[in-house]
């Protein structure tokens, strides 16, 4: 159907998106920062390139001539230790990619993966896309800056902004909280150290997230718009821990380690998915308890 280029194809989300797009009949080409160590289902070909390699990006885009681009490559861990890397990759790297897409002149849809972290500390109900961003950490600032950079290209490129809330699944790195807990439960840990247990998050299953991404890439009505990608429900970390204990039938103590409590922690992040549903008609097919059970099985 279409040739779709995914940046960050070897990442957690990229692998699931490549598989989903291939199942829909698309030809999937990827860019990764380093050599791909394990096969990616659905990937036809791939290139190694850093987002700050301007010449390399231009050569790849001119060679591939993609019909669509899904830009997933980013530093996605909020507590990443090197602030300069966050901005260099998430802002400058994204700008470099957009310049290369302009030069190639072939794409009819470009999806940019931003983040619901741009909304900051919003505690009064579900957040929709009309809520003004109020980022409170460098990761969120970098993603909002990427969105503003994208505005500079809106007359030249058919851009879609996705703001995913938290999501998880098999294969996510264990420096994220749910995979960390799952990993330690599978190892039989009797004590797990975590950060703030009272934060509330809207968690989706990665398989639902990539279905939404695919739908937006293939719908011209999505172009020029911003969409929340979320489940529409918020659950505290305490509630998630209780579900994991129930599903695993493994009891463990939880201790709050002050070193894991983030400065400028977002207390509650809960999204409205009405706009996405109006576009795609889709409902989540995986509830959090189902996702946790899948992850526990590995």
Provide Rg for the chain, Cα atoms.
19
Q: What mean pLDDT is predicted for residues 182-205? A: 94
Instruction: Specify the pTM.
Output: 0.95
Q: What integer pLDDT is reported at residue 193 of this predicted model? A: 94
Rounded mean pLDDT of the chain?
95
Percentage of residues in the chain having pLDDT higher than 90: 88
Contacts of 155 (CB under 8 A, 6+ apart): none
Lowest mean pLDDT among 50-59, 139-148, 218-227, 260-269: 260-269
Contact between residue 167 and residue 11 where contact means Cβ atoms under 8 Å apart? no
Q: What integer pLDDT is reported at residue 221 of this predicted model? A: 98
Contact between residue 253 and residue 193 where contact means Cβ atoms under 8 Å apart? no
Is the pLDDT at 124 greater than 80, yes or no? no
Residues 254, 255, 260, 261, Cα dihedral to 10°: 100
Domain boundaries, given as residue ranges, for the chain: 3-168+205-231+270-280, 177-200+234-268+288-297
Lowest mean pLDDT among 41-50, 73-82, 154-163, 268-277: 73-82
Q: Assign domain 177-200+234-268+288-297 one CATH number from 1.10.630.10, 2.40.10.480, 3.30.1300.10, 3.90.25.10.
A: 3.90.25.10
Could you tell me which of 209, 75, 54, 69 has the C-alpha nearest to residue 142?
75
Q: What integer pLDDT is reported at residue 269 of this predicted model? A: 84
Is the pLDDT at 265 greater than 90, yes or no? no
DSSP string, 213-257: HHHHHT-GGGTT-EEEE--S--EEHHHHHHHHHHHHT---EEEE-
Is the pLDDT at 259 greater than 90, yes or no? no
Confidence band, pLDDT 50/70/90 cuts, at residue 21: very high
Confidence band, pLDDT 50/70/90 cuts, at residue 79: low
Could you tell me which of 85, 77, 59, 67 has the C-alpha nearest to residue 29?
67
Is the pLDDT at 121 greater than 90, yes or no? no
Q: Which residues of 96-130 are buried (b: 16+ CB within 10 A; e: fewer)?
A: bbbebbeebebbebbbbbbbbbbbbebeeebbebe
Is the pLDDT at 39 greater than 70, yes or no? yes
Residues 192, 193, 196, 200, Cα dihedral to 10°: -30
Contact between residue 157 and residue 223 where contact means Cβ atoms under 8 Å apart? no
Contact between residue 73 and residue 52 where contact means Cβ atoms under 8 Å apart? no
Question: Domain 3-168+205-231+270-280 sits in which CATH superfamily?
Answer: NAD(P)-binding Rossmann-like Domain (3.40.50.720)
């Amino acid at each position: 159907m279409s040739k779709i280029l995914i940046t960050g194809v070897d990442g957690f989300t990229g692998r699931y998106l490549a598989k989903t797009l291939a199942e829909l009949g698309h030809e999937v080409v990827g860019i990764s920062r380093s050599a791909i160590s394990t096969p990616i289902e659905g990937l036809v070909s791939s290139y190694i390139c850093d987002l700050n390699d301007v010449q390399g990006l231009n050569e790849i885009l001119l060679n591939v001539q993609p019909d669509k681009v899904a830009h997933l490559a980013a530093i996605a861990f909020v507590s990443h230790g090197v602030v300069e890397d966050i901005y260099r990759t998430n802002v400058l790297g994204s700008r470099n990619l957009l310049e290369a897409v302009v030069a190639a002149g072939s794409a009819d849809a470009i999806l940019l993966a931003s983040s619901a972290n741009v909304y900051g500390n919003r505690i009064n109900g579900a957040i929709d896309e009309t809520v003004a961003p109020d980022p409170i950490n460098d990761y969120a600032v970098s993603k909002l800056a990427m969105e503003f950079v994208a505005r500079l290209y809106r007359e030249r490129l058919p851009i879609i902004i996705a703001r995913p809330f938290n999501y998880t699944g098999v294969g996510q790195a264990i420096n994220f909280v749910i995979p960390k807990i799952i990993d330690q439960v599978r190892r039989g840990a009797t004590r797990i150290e975590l950060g703030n247990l009272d934060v509330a998050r809207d968690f989706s299953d990665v398989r639902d997230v990539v279905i939404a991404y695919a739908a937006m890439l293939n719908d011209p009505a999505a172009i020029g718009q911003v969409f929340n990608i979320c489940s529409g429900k918020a659950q505290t970390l305490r509630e998630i821990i209780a579900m994991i204990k129930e599903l695993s039938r493994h009891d463990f103590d939880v201790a709050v380690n002050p070193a894991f409590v983030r400065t400028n922690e977002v207390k509650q992040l809960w999204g409205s998915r009405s706009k996405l549903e109006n576009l795609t008609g889709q409902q989540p097919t995986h509830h959090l308890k189902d996702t946790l059970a899948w992850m526990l099985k590995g």
